[in-house]
Structure 1
Amino acid sequence: MTRDAAVRAMRDRLLRESFPRVQMFILVTLTGLAGFAASAAMLMGGIETMALRYLLAMGVAYLVFLALLWIWLHSSASDYLDVAPTDVGRAPNGAGELPAVLRDDFAGHGGSFDGGGASANVEFDAGSGAVETIVDKPLEAIGHADEGAIPLAVVLLALGVLLSSLFVVWTAPILFAEILVDALLAAGLYRRLRGLERQHWMVAAVKRTVVPFVLTTVLVAGAGWGMQAWAPEARSIGDVLGR
């Protein structure tokens, strides 16, 4: 059996016996709340630059996400110690007890991670009136365009964060399966099998989640920069929408 086969078997078992996507939805929700709380705390602490604050908040959120994965692994690993007994044998210390290696890791030694929407008043059936409206009142037309563009930017920002979150939730079965297999490998449960490389569970966790988190961070920080460039006095999305 290869590592990929072990991961697929674990994924299938997770889907049969639990609700990995629901569990990941809870983790992602807690992660978002942590990021929001971090941003609010930094604003109270005097960091008023939205792009910087959002960047730092996303970093905090990612660390919280990894911590939540560690908690999930700590609370779930003992349920899967009898993984594929016909293929890999029973857990050395019994299905209900964590192996010493895994217990030590969970005790604290292995968890260190440490122009859209323009609304200018243009009458297309008024002949030259449309041209006169733009020529005579250019600033007013641009102002209306900006008023429509900022809410649209906020909607696109929310949509981007939502899609990134949905990706992580949808791929939760394979992510949970990988980190479980890696943790069990580290505990020696697959020692009789050949060709199974060992790696820390966090390697798989980062590989599976770093791209959506980076893309979301770029989107959030870029939106913060753009909104504050449009409204320099604004310190939050609420300030921008309240203009």
Structure 2
Amino acid sequence: MKVFSKIHRHQAIQKIRGELERDSFPRLQMFLLVTLTGASGFVASYTFLHVGIVEMWLRYLLSFGVAYLMFLVLLWLWLRTRAEDYADIPEVSRTASSSSDSASACCSGKGGDFGGGSASGAFDSHADGISLVGDSGGSVSDALGTVAEAEEFAIPLAILMLIGAMVFSSLFIVYSAPMLFAELLVDGVLSASLYRRLRGLETRHWLETAIRRTACPFILTAAIASASGWAMTLYAPGVHSIGDVIFYLRQGG
């Protein structure tokens, strides 16, 4: 029964995804939502700065939290506006129910899993130990001199990493918009009606689906932004914004 539930859910999602891509512009709609989300993050950062939260790493972290909450609210509003269009789609239920026989034949062996493959990466770090002995003072001094010379490149790199992380996460969410919107519609609008018809649809709350699909890009970007703010503060103590850091660099530190 659990396998049937996943099959019904997968087919319903694919059906709605196809209709979204054919009848509307889901990626453009998501681009607008992401733009509003970014604007809310900038407003939050500006507000936090003027209420006394001057630490860049903390302010960026809090701003991303506010932006993510705004993103979830925007997804809820989008779902409410599209609810009437997808409140009753008999084609989905007929497609899913007509495939029950073929699915049962397929599941007589090893059940297929349409839940989607999960990508996992293994990062192996093989770092050689650095030993400092008594007569290596010259080598340590050279290393410190090299680090000092590299500082002028560290901050531009941190700024580029911050911008790159925000652009990459935004593009990822925009690109995956058709699947995300389809899952939200199935879980937020169609789950009750389809479950009554099919008695076997795997149901989830739309908020669970939204967080599962979007939390990782936001968390990763927030971590990079916070680390970049921390690095910029270490390089230029007393700065409170990227504009201050750029001015500091132009003045030669």
The verdict on a shared fold, with TM-score over 0.5 as the criterion, is yes
| Structure 2 residue 68 is the aligned partner of structure 1 residue 52 | no
Q: Following superposition of structure 1 onto structure 2, how do residues 111-130 of structure 1 map, counting pairs within 5 Å?
A: none
Q: Following superposition of structure 1 onto structure 2, how do residues 1-243 of structure 1 map, counting pairs within 5 Å?
A: 2-83=8-89, 85-88=90-93, 145-243=150-248
Aligned twin of 2:135: none
Alpha-carbon distance in structure 1 between the residues aligned to 2:64 and 2:175: 20
Aligned twin of 1:129: none
Q: What is the CA RMSD across the aligned residues, in angstroms?
A: 2.0
Alpha-carbon distance in structure 1 between the residues aligned to 2:91 and 2:157: 56
Q: Which runs of 5+ in 1 are unaligned?
A: 90-133
Superposed CA deviations along residues 26-45 of structure 1, whole A, max 9, x for unmatched, are 00010001001000000000
Task: Give the CA deviation at 1:86.
Answer: 3.3
Q: Is the contact made by 2:34 and 2:71 (CA closer than 8 Å) also made in structure 1?
A: yes
Alpha-carbon distance in structure 1 between the residues aligned to 2:170 and 2:38: 9
Q: Using a 3 Å threshold, how does the CA distance of structure 1 residues 211 and 142 change in structure 2: closer, same or farther?
A: closer
Q: TM-score, normalised by structure 1?
A: 0.75
**Identity level (%):** 51
Alpha-carbon distance in structure 2 between the residues aligned to 1:202 and 1:190: 18
Q: Is the contact made by 1:11 and 1:173 (CA closer than 8 Å) also made in structure 2?
A: yes
Task: Give the CA deviation at 1:87.
Answer: 4.2
Higher RCO structure (Cα 8 Å, ≥6 apart)? 2
Q: Using a 3 Å threshold, how does the CA distance of structure 1 residues 87 and 50 change in structure 2: closer, same or farther?
A: closer
Task: Give the CA deviation at 1:195.
Answer: 1.9
Q: Which runs of 5+ in 2 are unaligned?
A: 1-6, 95-140, 249-253
Task: Give the CA deviation at 1:173.
Answer: 0.3
Alpha-carbon distance in structure 1 between the residues aligned to 2:13 and 2:182: 5
Superposed CA deviations along residues 43-71 of structure 1, whole A, max 9, x for unmatched, are 00000011111110000000000000011
Q: TM-score, normalised by structure 2?
A: 0.72
Q: Using a 3 Å threshold, how does the CA distance of structure 1 residues 194 and 182 change in structure 2: closer, same or farther?
A: same
Alpha-carbon distance in structure 2 between the residues aligned to 1:163 and 1:15: 22
Q: Using a 3 Å threshold, how does the CA distance of structure 1 residues 190 and 16 change in structure 2: closer, same or farther?
A: farther
Aligned twin of 1:94: none
Q: Is the contact made by 2:15 and 2:92 (CA closer than 8 Å) also made in structure 1?
A: no
